[in-house]
Amino acid sequence: MNILIVNMGNLVYNLASTSIIKSIQKKLSDAKITWVVNNEEYKSIFKFNNNVNKVCNISEIPNKKYDVCINLFPADITELHIQSNYFLGFGYNDSLDYLIPYLTEDKIPHSSFYLFQVIHWAAGLTWKGQSYDISYFPHSKQKINRLGIKSTNDNIKNYIKDKLNVDNMKVYYLPYKKNILKRMDEINKCSRIITDDLLTCHLAISLRKFVIFLQKVPMPFKIEFFGKGVTIHVPKAIYL
Per-residue CA distances from 225 to 18, 131, 145 (Å): 16, 10, 20
- Sign for the CA dihedral angle at 183, 189, 191, 195 comes to negative
Q: State the Cα torsion 89-100-215-226 to the nearest 10°.
A: -20
Give the model's confidence band at 106: pLDDT under 50 very low, under 70 low, under 90 confident, else very high: low
- Under the banding of pLDDT at 50, 70 and 90, the label for residue 24 is very high
pLDDT tens digits, residue range 144-191?
899 999 988 888 888 888 778 777 889 999 999 999 999 999 999 999
User: So what CATH class is 2-122?
Assistant: alpha beta
> 147: closest CA among 174, 179, 171?
171
Spell out the residues 6+ positions from residue 61 whose beta carbon is closer than 8 angstroms to its own.
Answer: 4, 34, 36, 80, 82
| Percent of the chain predicted with pLDDT > 70 | 98
Query: Does residue 85 have a pLDDT over 80?
Result: yes
pLDDT over 90, % of the chain: 76
List the one residue out of 115, 91, 116, 88 whose CA is nearest residue 103: 115
CA 128 to chain CA centroid, nearest Å: 17
Cα 95 from Cα 89, distance rounded (Å): 10
Q: How confident is the model at residue 38 (pLDDT cuts 50, 70, 90)?
A: very high
Indicate if 146-239 has the same CATH topology as 2-122: yes
Asked if CATH classification 3.30.460.10 holds for the domain at 146-239, the reply, yes or no, is no
pLDDT in the model for residue 163 = 79
Compute, in degrees rounded to 10, the torsion defined by CA atoms 134, 135, 139, 142: 80
Nearest Cα neighbor of 215 from 199, 236, 184 is 236
- Whether the pLDDT of residue 208 is over 70: the answer is yes
Asked if residue 111 has pLDDT above 80, the reply is: no
**Domain boundaries of the chain, sorted by first residue:** 2-122, 146-239
The mean pLDDT value for 44-55 works out to: 94
- Given a contact cutoff of 8 angstroms between Cβ atoms, the answer to whether 23 and 124 are in contact is no
Does residue 44 register a pLDDT over 90? yes
- Is the pLDDT higher at 235 or at 15? 15
Q: Mean of the per-residue pLDDT values for the chain?
A: 92
